[in-house]
Structures are given as structure tokens and as C-alpha cells.
Amino acid sequence: MLKVDIDNQVKQVPFELKGKDFITMADFEPNDIFFLLDQALEMKSLQKKGIPHPYLSGKVLGMIFEKSSTRTRVSFEVGMMQLGGQAIFLSSNDIQLGRGESVEDTAKVLSRYVDGLMVRTFAHESIEQFAKSADVPVINGLTDLHHPTQVLADLLTIYEHKGTLTGLKMCYIGDCNNNMCHSLLEGAASVGMHLSITSPSGYEPNLTIIEKAKQVGKATGSIVNYTDSPEEAIEQADVVVTDVWTSMGQEVEQKERIKAFTPFQVNASLCSHAKEDFIFLHCLPAHRGEEVTAEIIDGPHSVVFDEAENRLHAQKAILKNLMK
């Protein structure tokens, strides 16, 4: 359990999360994030011990996918099964949303059938419209702007390997104007981690998001900074994170991006500036030889498969507390 961090930052538990949406990490107070991480550890412990935990017996999660997925789909489906409920996969091509029905009407109709909605889409405005129109909790499975369920799993993984979160230095290297970086900014600031991010010119983070993260950091002790020097960013880092250089929908930019990001590859030379016991995270899928070398992602510092597994446990904590 997150006893050290909770003793320092969380004074009252549990928190009433029922019925809330999970759209960005910034939707929740730092106390809520720590509570969800505690719940994720509980979910993981029960699953590993083979102890049934049907907290959502009889509940149904509707899952709308406008973007393809491996980890998001399987972890949410398995999570609902382990919680005693069911999940329904809804491709945008298979429902009326793909034929022009409005987001608002789709959200209102599905709210009459299911107990919660997970949406994986492109425009962040779409999921905000879902949340505004739905009468059930809405969970962001990924948008172009944010990926909060992944970052909750990342924080869980870091805690498991480091024994704490507060005061650690995380370094994110790559495209800083993407969903992973934005959610990491919010998540790290909430739990008091220091975050140094770095990218080539032209790929800086959303200004509003980084400024809000810095403001949150003033209360939690988190220091957030941006630099165009990967060596400076990774210096003495406890955690090193990267993501693909070309995300879904950006394929036409691939050649240009590879040229820009090559100096920002996570490799042994760059990682020599991090702490000797650093851990490496990547949300996957990964392109070995591009954003990261095989030596790093398949090496002793990598915890990417623990991270992938933790999507299941972190999301079960979200589902349990929003849909209970």
C-alpha cells in the first residue's frame, strides 16, 4: 500500500468517486490519485491470490473504439470480468455514431443501457461531449490530448519498483505535444514527482497543460520543466519514459518526425546520464531502433511489461470506484 505517500499527503480516506468521470488526471485531487493507486494495489493483490472480487456484479461497461487498441480493449474487458461485470465492445463503424448520429444522442441512448462508458477516440472534444451528455460515468481510454488510464498504471508501476513517488525525478523524452506527455505532466505534478520533459523544437507540450501542472506542483512540491536538451532532462533521473515518434493519424509525417527525433532516441549513451538504478517505461507499442533501442527496452532497466500489466489493475480501481 502507498503508506509513505499517503501518510504525507492523504489525510482522509476513502473518497467518494462514484458517478464521476475520468477524463484527465487533472479531474482528480492528489488525494484521489493516491487513493486510486491504493485501490489498484488491492485489486492486484486479490487477483494474484485468486480471491474473487465481484464488486461490479451485474454491471455493464460500454466501450466505444474509434482508435484501434490491444492493451486498452483487453485490460478493460478482463477487468470487468474479474469484477463480476461485463464489457461490450462497440466499434464506431458498427454503431450509428459512425453513420452520423451525434455524440450527444449516442451518449444519452447508451446511458439507458449500460452503467459506464469507456471511450477511445481522436479529438478530446468528443469525449468531453460524451461526458457532458451521458448519465453514467465516462472514462477516457485515450484521446489525442490525454491518456490518463495509462498514466495511472505508470504511477502504480513506478511505486512498485521504487517504493515511493514523491520526490522522484521522471524524464520524458520525445514528442511532448502528445497525450502521454500531457497526462504525465498532470499525474507527476499531482503526486509530487519532479518531471523534466524534452523534445525537438516544434514539438513542445500544450502550454495550458504545462502551466497548470506547474501550478499544481507548487502545492505538492513537484518541479516541472521543459528543455530541448535530452542530456539535461535525463540527468539523475529515477524514471525514463518515451513514446512512439509517430502516433496514429500522423503517418504522413513519419519521415519528417524520424529526422527531427533521432537525436532524442533513448539509448545506452543517453541513459548513462540517469541514475544507475533508473527504470524505463514505454506505453507500447514500441518501435525498437526508433524512439528506443532494444538494449534499453529489453534490458534490465525496463519495466514495460509490468507497466502493461498494471493497466488491468489501475483500470479496475477506476471502474470499481466510479461504477460501484
Kindly report, residue by residue over 191-222, the tens digit of the pLDDT: 999 999 999 999 999 999 999 999 999 999 99
pLDDT higher than 70, residue 65:
yes
Is 157 annotated in a binding site? The answer is: no
**Is 149 flagged in the annotation as binding?**
yes
Consult the annotation and say whether 92 binds a ligand.
no
Strand pairing partners for 282? 242
Query: Of 12-21, 24-33, 148-157, 276-285, where does mean pLDDT reach its minimum?
Result: 12-21
Does 5 score more than 60 pLDDT?
Answer: no
Instruction: Establish whether 86 is an annotated binding residue.
Output: no
List pLDDT tens digits, range 67-85. Answer: 999 999 999 999 999 999 9
Could you report the per-residue pLDDT of 175-195, keeping only the tens digit for each?
A: 999 999 999 999 999 999 999
Residue 201: left (phi > 0), alpha (psi -120 to 50), or beta? beta
* Furthest C-alpha separation in the chain: 55
Known binder of ligand: residue 96? yes
Give the three-class secondary structure for 96.
Answer: helix
| Strand ranges across the sheet with 224-227 | 224-227, 194-198, 169-173, 239-242, 279-282
Mean pLDDT value across residues 287-311: 98
**120 in a known ligand binding site:** yes
Mean pLDDT for all residues in the chain: 94
What DSSP designation does 16 have? -
Domains of the chain plus CATH, in order, are 30-146+311-323 (3.40.50.1370), 148-307 (3.40.50.1370)
Beta-carbon contacts of residue 254 (< 8 Å; ≥ 6 apart) = 245, 246
Strand segments, DSSP code E, in the chain are: 60-65, 86-91, 116-120, 138-142, 169-173, 194-198, 224-227, 239-242, 279-282
Which of 58-72, 92-106, 141-155, 182-196 has the lowest average pLDDT?
92-106
Assigned C-alpha cell, 58:
451485474
User: Is it the case that residue 1 has pLDDT exceeding 70?
Assistant: no
Cell numbers of 41, please?
494495489
Q: What is the pLDDT of residue 116?
A: 98
Residue pointed to by grid coordinates 513517488 = 165
The CA-based dihedral angle spanning residues 103, 65, 115, 33, taken in that order and rounded to the nearest 10 degrees = -100
How confident is the model over 219-238, as pLDDT tens digits? 999 999 999 999 999 999 99
Catalytic residue set: 120, 147, 150, 243, 283, 311
DSSP string for 190-239 = HHT-EEEEE--TT-PPPHHHHHHHHHHHHHHT--EEEES-HHHHHTT-SE
Question: Quick one: pLDDT at residue 69?
Answer: 94
| pLDDT value at residue 14 | 53
**Is 170 assigned to a binding site?**
no
pLDDT of 171 over the 90 cut: yes
Q: How far is CA 85 from the centre of its chain?
A: 23
The mean pLDDT value for 301-317 works out to 98
Contacts of 296 (CB under 8 A, 6+ apart): 266, 267, 268, 271, 280, 302
